[in-house]
């Protein structure tokens, strides 16, 4: 890569990092702490994504690819060995439970409306059975507490539980919300990267944005936000229903598994708004 292209790439990454670094500074994460994570990630990506076929990935080659010293590569590799992925799986589990509650015939009534469920009842569809079917070894009580906390479920006067939404968006700085941040950004950037390097247009993944060149008036933003939520919710529910009809792959039976989905988001470019204001 020539110097001009590299500078353009670094400039693009600077813009990409702005909102991420904003989150780090807000939560007291220093540059040295981020630098250590960046080094670990450089080593991990180099060792897993840039292997030479039929050859063992040496620390010397990792050092060449990353620009780190062999001593640092050895330290970071040793540090990473034996560590488990720190991202919690709760987000995916909660999503599976809510989706099953809205789509599985055993937990829906007429017109596909989710049933109001008792926590546990051997004779009726219950919340415990729902969690066991769609979330494996997750504690039903812990699952219910989380759904109640985020307002996805409501307890009725009769002691039953009613699903209020089929979508789960963690709030605050809880681990689940950080997992949501990481997964969402990773998925979107991975899509962009694939589409950049894929020469065949038919093999590129769907990725589109709609916006107005001149922006909109502040008083129109609430109407636009409400419109986006309404239309996107309907589309996502339709796609979710389609996915729910597919037969689940089973890795134990040798099925190949592809992790895929669709994400929709609304954005407000605050940085651009600030730059425009400073230029006036």
Cα–Cα distance measured from residue 91 to residue 101, given in angstroms and rounded to the nearest whole number: 16
Sign of CA dihedral 8, 13, 19, 22: negative
Inter-residue contact 127 to 140 (CB < 8 Å): yes
Interacting residues of 225 by C-beta distance below 8 A, sequence separation 6+: 266
Q: What pTM does this model have?
A: 0.55
Average pLDDT taken over every residue of the chain = 85
pLDDT digits (tens, 9 = 90+) for 119-158: 999 889 999 999 999 987 789 998 999 899 888 999 999 8
Each residue of 164-188: pLDDT tens digit? 988 776 665 566 667 777 888 888 8
Residues 6+ apart with CB under 8 A from 129: 106
- Hey, is 150 helix, strand or coil? coil
d(CA 12, CA 191): 16
Half-sphere exposure of 279 (CA within 13 A, CB side): 6
Instruction: Tell me which residue has tokens 């759904």.
Output: 147
CB neighbour class for 73 (10 Å; exposed up to 12, middle 13-18, buried from 19):
buried
CATH domain 90-163 topology? Arc Repressor Mutant, subunit A (1.10.10)
pLDDT tens for 48-75 read 889 888 888 899 999 999 999 999 999 8
């Amino acid at each position: 890569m020539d110097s001009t292209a590299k500078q353009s790439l670094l400039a693009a990454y600077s813009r990409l990092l702005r909102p991420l670094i904003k989150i780090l500074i807000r939560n007291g994460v220093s540059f040295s702490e981020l630098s250590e994570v960046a080094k670990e990630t450089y080593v991990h990506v180099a060792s897993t994504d840039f292997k030479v076929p039929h050859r063992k990935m040496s620390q010397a080659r990792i050092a060449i690819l990353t620009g780190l010293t062999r001593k640092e590569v050895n330290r970071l590799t040793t540090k990473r060995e034996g560590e488990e992925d720190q991202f919690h799986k709760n987000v995916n589990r909660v999503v599976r439970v809510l989706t099953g509650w809205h789509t599985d015939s055993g937990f829906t009534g007429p017109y596909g409306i989710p049933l109001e469920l008792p926590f546990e009842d051997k004779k009726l569809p219950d919340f415990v059975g729902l969690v066991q079917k769609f979330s494996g070894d997750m504690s039903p009580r812990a699952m219910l507490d989380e759904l109640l906390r985020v307002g996805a479920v409501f307890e009725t006067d009769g002691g039953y539980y009613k699903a209020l939404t089929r979508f789960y968006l963690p709030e605050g700085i809880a681990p689940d919300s950080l997992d949501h941040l990481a997964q969402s950004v990773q998925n979107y950037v991975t899509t962009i990267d694939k589409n950049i390097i894929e020469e065949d247009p038919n093999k590129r993944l769907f990725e589109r944005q709609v916006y107005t060149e001149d922006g909109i008036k502040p008083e129109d933003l609430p109407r636009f936000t409400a419109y986006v939520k309404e239309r996107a919710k309907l589309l996502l529910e339709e796609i979710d229903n389609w996915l729910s009809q597919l037969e689940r792959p089973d890795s134990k039976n040798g099925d190949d598994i592809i992790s895929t989905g669709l994400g929709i988001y609304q954005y407000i470019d605050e940085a651009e708004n600030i730059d425009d204001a400073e230029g006036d």
